[in-house]
Amino acid sequence: MPARNSETSFGTVTRTFHWLVALLILTAIPLGVIANQLPYDTAEALAVKAELFSWHKTLGVAAFLLGLARILWAVVERHPVPLHPERKAELTLAGMVHWLLYISLVVVPLSGWVHHAAVTGFAPILWPFGQTLPFVPQSEAVASAAGAVHWVFTKVMGLAILLHIAGALKHHVIDRDATLLRMARGVVAPDQPQPVRKGAAPVVFALAIYAAGAGVAALLVPDGEALAAPAPAAETTGNWTVTEGTLGLTVKQMGAEVSGSFANWTADITFDETASAGKHGTVTVTIDMTSVTLGSVTKQALEAEFFDVASHPTAVFAADILPATEGYLAQGTLTLRGMEKAVALPFTLTITGDEAQMTGAVTLDRRDFGIGRSYGDEASVGFPVVVDVALTARRVP
């Protein structure tokens, strides 16, 4: 059986590429749809969901790499002539669908991969390529755009595949010609017609559909403001005003670290370099819990099982600032999810004139605040949550 295509038949290389890619894609699609719909209300359900997503991504990446090789092969290889060159409209439709499939082979998995690389955590790719991609920043804006592209073009690809399969079946069942058997078994059609000249219409139509899809994807992306970089509010009643800063959190999920931050929080700081009555001052941090982003699991973090922001939209850390052997200690209570616990945050401070740089971190245990009660062990969500703060403050004149 010849490896290369001829004027009248598909060779083994083209056919192997076609059916391998088809198998990967037709497996990745149901995995993606099912994984997306599965609940994650218990640790077991989340583990199954993550496992299916891991397989979806792993097969998707395989389809992408094989798809690229297939496209290169299609570029250098001749294409057998169509069996019914006189059916112009049918040829244009089939050609357009082939172009849609070729473009989708790149855009669909690549957008999924970019989405995956731009958010941290949840459902690793099982290939040993690492979890990030060069040139893809870890950013909500990039993730959200790539997610919208993946969503829209999986639909375009699905529709193209349905049309493609319907066409193949129509040839086999209604026309009773060798179109399907040429691809399935390398059969050479008996009454092979002469070559036809291909026009540009199929590729133009396919690109027009993709341009329309890109427009729909753009509409689905939330506006820039909703995705703005975290920044604290400047209001304060203390003697220092926070001018910039980040309040971050990191937790282990499925053994991999997921990091996020709170976009809205305020810090009331009263601080003197010289301690009086054993303390340097006080700090009250008020955190808008609805402003959390946590990689690919932001939605879950907001829900009743975790931060329960509907019932407890704010958290407050009120502490005294005490001297410590290295730097300082903010020692007080954290009220989170309606529960109050003692928390001590060690931090360092560098004061240059009227500006202070502060960095500190503390590890909390999510169980102290009743977070993730149905996740009784650490297999899905780790117990420790590292909270890190870095801020710049100006002395109020």
Instruction: Give residues in contact with ligand HEM (CB under 6 A).
Output: 18, 21-22, 25-26, 28-29, 32-33, 36, 56-57, 60-61, 63-64, 74, 79, 94, 98, 101-102, 105, 108-109, 112-113, 115-116, 125, 147, 150-151, 154, 157, 161, 164-165, 168, 179-180, 182-183
Q: How far is the CB of 301 from ligand HEM (least distance, A)?
A: 15
Side chain identity at 339, as an amino acid letter?
M
Q: How far is the CB of 169 from ligand HEM (least distance, A)?
A: 7
Measured CA to CA, the distance from residue 321 to residue 283 in angstroms comes to: 7
Q: How far is the CB of 79 from ligand HEM (least distance, A)?
A: 5
Give the DSSP per-residue string, 103-147: HHHHHHHHHHHHHHHHS-SSS--SSTT-S--TT----HHHHHHHH
3-state secondary structure of 244: strand
Q: How far is the CB of 245 from ligand HEM (least distance, A)?
A: 30
Nearer to ligand HEM (CB atom), residue 33 or residue 390: 33
Residues 206 and 239: beta-carbon distance below 8 Å: no
Tokens 């082979």 correspond to 105
Question: Residues near 220 by Cβ (< 8 Å), separated by ≥ 6?
Answer: 148, 151, 152
Q: How far is the CB of 121 from ligand HEM (least distance, A)?
A: 11
Q: C-alpha distances in angstroms, 127 versus 36, 65, 133, 220, 348? A: 21, 12, 13, 30, 40
Q: How far is the CB of 176 from ligand HEM (least distance, A)?
A: 14
Q: How far is the CB of 165 from ligand HEM (least distance, A)?
A: 5
Nearer to ligand HEM (CB atom), residue 3 or residue 233: 3
User: Given phi > 0 = left and psi -120 to 50 = alpha, else beta, which region is 135?
Assistant: left
Nearer to ligand HEM (CB atom), residue 96 or residue 108: 108
Measured CA to CA, the distance from residue 344 to residue 319 in angstroms comes to: 8
Which of 369, 370, 364 is CA-nearest to residue 385? 364
Please count the CA atoms within 13 angstroms of the CA of 168 that sit on its side-chain side. Answer: 12
C-beta neighbour count of 282 within 10 angstroms: 16
Q: How far is the CB of 4 from ligand HEM (least distance, A)?
A: 13
Which of 115, 27, 34 is CA-nearest to residue 66? 27
Nearer to ligand HEM (CB atom), residue 100 or residue 330: 100
Nearer to ligand HEM (CB atom), residue 40 or residue 271: 40
